[in-house]
Amino acid sequence: MIRPLDGITVVSLEHAVAAPFCTRQLADLGARVIKVERPGGGDFARGYDQRVKGQSSHFTWINRSKESLALDLKQPEALEALQQLLGQADVLVQNLAPGAAARMGLSYEALQARHPRLIVCDISGYGADGPYRDKKAYDLLIQSEAGFLSITGTPEVPSKAGISVADIAAGMYAYTHVLSALLLRGRTGEGSHIDVSMLEALGEWMGYPMYYAFDGAPPPPRTGASHASIYPYGPFQAGDGGTVMLGLQNEREWKAFCDTVLRQPQLAADARFDSNAQRNAHRAELQALILSLFAELTAAQVVERLDAAGIANARVNDMAGLWAHPQLAARSRWRDVDTPAGPVPALLPPGANSAFAPRMDPVPAVGEHTAAILAELGWSAQRIARLQAAPALA
């Protein structure tokens, strides 16, 4: 089986989420990803929690199919090993603290002369220049800077996303930029520099609320789990205590909702509700009406009526519901992936290609592949042992 990135080697100085998420996508497509970690503790995301057989949930999720090379890059000999490795690599990805890679001689400008075909992808909070270039950036801080918190939550309390949306956005843009850089190198023969910022990645995702608030207009209100500008679109409780998520997109669906779900066809022409703008303006009245009717039904009965009307709806699942989701099982989306603590289930990458299956190889232990990688570079067993025995430099 041939995968799209077979033969491509990626070296990554990565930690936490953004860069590891990027490189795992590359590994899924067949790239050899060599993850450079600190000897001993490794990527600090390994210590976030112990939820997966004593291992971190974050780390297990985004570090399969990689090789772990433990190097103390403060040691000159370790930095020499990294430079040797980059001479055989196609891509360098890094999301170290601002300026850290450059201080080690690993900026694109420093590497370009020695490795002209190398693609260098820098992931940071705010980008390589500008007044914020040296600020530390974590996911929640970028959610705040990008205005995400201003539109998420309830009218009383802003809320962060429950997952690392800024990290994931930056990781996905880094991934697609690396793919495009590989295509470009195939035409020019030269590497290139990619500068991805978390702020710009999440800023792109904020396009709708930015334009909604165009030219000083009021921004979308925080409406909890309901849509900020389409109504009814959100969670509604049934009489048995169950919650149904439903969404209407147009006037045809509104009429079907009145006819088949509410069984009050006259509401379709009610002047308070005869357009989305009017329904949105009178959402409190409409919500009370819907809840009073749903109070007489079970959640299953509400779903049955919504399905009959062709109205989109969903269960409000928790994590147990996602693990046991019948659609994921029916489409055979689960595989076992090995880890240092034994196999765990993992979802296949989104999407399926008829020509190849994605890699689903083990999650590595810290430094698991150090000796083998250095031996590939021509290092003797004695030299490898000496490097591994060297004390860490502060």
Strand partners, 299: none
344-347 vs 334-337, strand pairing mode: antiparallel
Pair 253, 301 in one domain = yes
d(CA 259, CA 290): 13
Across the chain, what does the average pLDDT equal?
96
165 to each of 139, 172, 199, 258, how far by Cα in Å? 7, 10, 11, 36
**pLDDT over 90 (residue 392):** no
Pair 249, 120 in one domain = no
Q: Which residue do the tokens 């008829």 mark? A: 354
Pair 175, 252 in one domain = no
Domain span at 196: 9-206+337-389
What's the Rg (C-alpha) of the chain?
Answer: 26
Q: Over the stretch 254-301, which tens digit does the pLDDT of each residue have?
A: 999 999 999 999 999 999 999 999 999 999 999 999 999 999 999 999
Is residue 145 included in any domain, yes or no? yes
Give residue 350's pLDDT band: very low, low, confident or very high (50, 70, 90). very high
Pair 275, 345 in one domain = no
Pair 263, 346 in one domain = no
**Alpha helices, DSSP H only, in 146-282?**
148-151, 165-188, 198-205, 207-212, 251-256, 276-281
pLDDT of residue 1: 87
Strand partners, 119: 91
**pLDDT over 90 (residue 393):** no
d(CA 359, CA 343): 15
Please report which helix (H) or strand (E) contains residue 121, including its range: strand 119-124
Pair 19, 157 in one domain = yes
* Helices 18-28 and 165-188, packing angle to 10 deg: 50
Is residue 323 included in any domain, yes or no? no
Q: Over the stretch 77-98, which tens digit does the pLDDT of each residue have?
A: 999 999 999 999 999 999 999 9
Structure tokens of 207?
């396009």
Of 316, 349, 377, which residue constitutes the final position of a domain? 316
Of 287, 316, 345, which residue constitutes the final position of a domain? 316
Is residue 39 included in any domain, yes or no? yes
pLDDT of residue 240: 95
Structure tokens of 180?
């495009």
pLDDT of residue 55: 97
Q: Which residues carry out catalysis?
A: 227
66-70 vs 312-315, strand pairing mode: unpaired
d(CA 124, CA 95): 6
Pair 376, 261 in one domain = no
Domain count, the chain: 2
pLDDT of residue 174: 98
Of 269, 284, 316, which residue constitutes the final position of a domain? 316
**pLDDT over 90 (residue 332):** yes
Classify residue 14 by its DSSP letter.
-
* Helices 381-389 and 76-86, packing angle to 10 deg: 130
**pLDDT over 80 (residue 394):** no
Q: What is the pTM of this model?
A: 0.93
**pLDDT over 90 (residue 326):** yes
Q: Which residue do the tokens 């679109």 mark? A: 233
Domain at 271, CATH number: 3.30.1540.10
Domain at 35, CATH number: 3.40.50.10540
Classify residue 68 by its DSSP letter.
E
Q: Which residue do the tokens 């000796």 mark? A: 371
Pair 343, 311 in one domain = no
Q: Over the stretch 228-249, which tens digit does the pLDDT of each residue have?
A: 889 999 999 999 999 999 999 9
Structure tokens of 297?
């039904």
pLDDT of residue 117: 97
| Residue 253: other Cβ atoms inside 10 A | 17
